[in-house]
Amino acid sequence: MTTPETTDLRNGWNQVAAHYQALHRHSTASAHYGPWAPREEELRLLGDVRGSRILELGCGGGECCIAFARQGAQVTGLDWSEAQLDYARSQARQAQLAIHFVQGDAADLRQFAEASWEIVFSTYTFQYLADLPQTLQGCARVLVAGGLLVFSLDHPLRDCFFDATEQELSVYPARSYFDSSPLLWRFAHPGVWMQTHHHTVGEWVDLLGQAGFRLQRLLEPVPPRELLDALWPEDDARAPLRCLPQTIIFVAAKEG
């Protein structure tokens, strides 16, 4: 398979949005951390959000924004993709919730005032961001002192099992854990190329510290059994993939 030299993520997500929403159909009952992790109603990483100002980066279809707004938070959802935002706005309209959705790059938060949020939240978006120091410094700038940055993404160990040639997970490591080159992968439908970035867990911890955050928790949830059984049954040749962590969640507070 020929991989492209470059990818246009904004355009890519615009093409993929309808398929992504049909595939995932995330619930709006509680914020989520991706398909492999318990939801916020179980993890309780943010505490009581009533009255809190929350900025969600890479809000996609807006499901987490809606869940937070229902709990009484003042929410803004930011996404790079207009098509994702259209879907988010229509969901918020149906739910009759006043949520502010803005188009923008999570790596450039200059449109927001300093210290304007108690929580910056993100699910499965930070791996798309090439300039993490700039992104994390931006998050620190817009958070109040002591404010929380909570985000989830693919577990870095999982990246090592991605076979770029076959475009699927392999049962043995296909790339080094220490290889920092981007991962190029294709959404099966409609065949759009995406690019994500790999950092070791240690690099994530250092990047957070350098941006002025104190790491409070690092979660590696046990993957849900029903999803493992559906994808890689115990008697399947791909069953070794059941042994991997799939998601990582960082909870960090702005120092000061």
> Does residue number 92 form part of the binding site for ligand SAM (CB under 6 A)?
no
For residue 251, the cross-strand partners are 150, 217
> Does residue number 77 form part of the binding site for ligand SAM (CB under 6 A)?
no
Residue number closest to ligand SAM, CB atom: 60
Closest C-alpha among 128, 185, 180, 194 to residue 162: 185
Per CB under 6 A, the list member of 68, 80, 121, 213 interacting with ligand SAM is 80
Closest C-alpha among 47, 88, 92, 49 to residue 72: 49
Nearer to ligand SAM, 168 or 236 (CB): 168
Q: Which amino acid is at 24?
A: H
Contact 225, 246 (CB under 8 A): no
Dump strand ranges (E) for 24-176: 53-57, 74-79, 100-103, 117-123, 143-154, 162-163, 168-169
Can you tell me the distance from the alpha carbon of 193 to that of 174, in angstroms, rounded to the nearest whole number? 19
Instruction: Using DSSP, state whether 138 is helix, strand or coil.
Output: helix
Give the interface segment with ligand SAM, choosing from 119-127, 157-165, 225-233, 235-243 (CB under 6 A): 119-127
Give the interface segment with ligand SAM, choosing from 39-47, 55-63, 162-170, 236-244 (CB under 6 A): 55-63
> Does residue number 58 form part of the binding site for ligand SAM (CB under 6 A)?
yes
Per CB under 6 A, the list member of 7, 13, 67, 211 interacting with ligand SAM is 13
Q: What is the DSSP letter of 211?
A: T
Per CB under 6 A, the list member of 71, 75, 79, 221 interacting with ligand SAM is 79
Using CA atoms of 107, 111, 115, 117 in order, give the dihedral in degrees to the nearest 10: -80
Neighbours of 140 (CB within 10 A): 24
Per CB under 6 A, the list member of 30, 125, 196, 247 interacting with ligand SAM is 125
Per CB under 6 A, the list member of 52, 71, 123, 247 interacting with ligand SAM is 123
Kind of pairing, strands 100-103 and 74-79? parallel
Give the interface segment with ligand SAM, choosing from 75-83, 181-189, 214-222, 237-245 (CB under 6 A): 75-83
Per CB under 6 A, the list member of 49, 106, 139, 150 interacting with ligand SAM is 106
CB of 110 to ligand SAM, least distance (A): 13
Helix axes 9-24, 82-94, angle to 10 degrees: 40
Number of residues engaging ligand SAM in binding (CB under 6 A): 21
Per CB under 6 A, the list member of 107, 148, 192, 211 interacting with ligand SAM is 107
Residues 6+ away with beta carbon under 8 Å from 53: 73, 74, 76, 116, 117, 118, 119
Per CB under 6 A, the list member of 124, 151, 204, 250 interacting with ligand SAM is 124
Interacting residues with ligand SAM (CB under 6 A): 9, 13, 26, 57-61, 78-81, 84, 105-107, 123-125, 128-129
